[in-house]
Amino acid sequence: MNTNELKTLCQLCGTSGREQAVRDYIVKELLALGLAPQVDRLGNILVRKQGAAPANHKLLFSAHMDEVALMVTDITEDGSLKFDMVGGVSAAAVIGRQVLVGQKKIPGVIGTKPIHHLSSEEKKQSVRMSALHVDIGAASKADAQTHVRRGDVIYFLPEYRTFGDGCIAAKALDDRFGCALLLSLIRQDLPYDTDFAFVVQEEVGLRGAGVAANTAAPEFAVVIEATTAADVAGCKGTNAVCQLGNGAVISFMDGRTIYDAALYQKAADTAQQLGIPWQTKTRIAGGNDAGAIQSAAGGVRVLAVSIPCRYLHSPVSVVKLSDAEACEQLAAALIPMIQNIGDSDDDC
């Protein structure tokens, strides 16, 4: 895994429907490799990398470019900004966070009513997004309106740092990790022709992936993602879902998709045979672009390979480099595995 590229991708700002900066970077890298990426009307990138041999089965790797963020919905008389979510964001996770607002990247801080002004009843309640605001230091509504307008995107302050035992903390690891892995695969000498999709608007309903899959029309698709790891204080056993340091996560089911049973088993067997650390989830939750790809183009056999990620959909998430390496090793191994699937391997 090229961690310098991962850092670059995570520091770019691109939420659902506003993926331009991420798309521009990826297209530039693909063109530098002599490839011919196609960008559809929704903003998905589709590209084919020729391998040493023609594909026996049309295989698509997919990752999404967008990140969760916030969007300005109103400007109050005192010049603070009201906002709502783009994707699933917890209000409790954003209080006090530094942000960048609009095209000019105006700095701001997310605030709420001071605790000494809360009623006894309010202190018992979970904080709501409607109770929060962004302070950009404006003196009035008129002052704020010279810098910001409704519909402007509010991004969490780009951060990227390594810490602890091989851990990475950054915004947008979901799913710039997947984008970085796909680029890494594309730069390799592949054994078979393989299609790749960098898709838009996953965080607001898997909107780009279905369009991309209808265009690519694959038989098989592998979605590279980040998935919730709750291996933190207060969460044990089943509630941890998956754990940092235990390798790539291969999913058998989530809140949106029942994965191809034979494909899941063969992926697990492949990881086991090659000594690639892997795990699966202990709770059924969440979802990803496999849910849209599976039902596109007449039906696609899907698999998800994810990196375990703490504090998903928050201003800063955490992954482990060893898990990233396991995901990349497994993804590369899946290409010959899937291309060598025969009729006898189709039973589910």
**Residue 339, token pair as written in the block:** 């291309």
The yes-or-no answer on residue 202 being catalytic is yes
What is the C-alpha separation between 49 and 342, in angstroms, rounded? Answer: 23
What is the C-alpha separation between 99 and 338, in angstroms, rounded? Answer: 43
Q: Are 290 and 211 in contact (CB under 8 A)?
A: no
Residue 19 has a CB neighbour count (10 Å cut-off) of 26
Catalytic residue among 19, 202, 203, 328: 202
Residues 6+ positions from 32 with CB-CB distance below 8 Å: none
Q: Are 230 and 240 in contact (CB under 8 A)?
A: yes
Q: Are 136 and 148 in contact (CB under 8 A)?
A: yes
**Residue 111, token pair as written in the block:** 């605030």
Comparing C-alpha atoms, which of 229, 194, 210 is closest to residue 324? 229
Q: Residue for token digits 């996770």?
A: 93
**Residue 283, token pair as written in the block:** 């709770």
The angle subtended at Cα 256 by Cα 254 and Cα 260, nearest 5°, is 70
Residues 6+ positions from 249 with CB-CB distance below 8 Å: 227, 242, 278, 279, 280, 281, 304, 305, 306, 307, 308
What is the C-alpha separation between 109 and 100, in angstroms, rounded? Answer: 9
* Residues labelled as active-site residues: 202
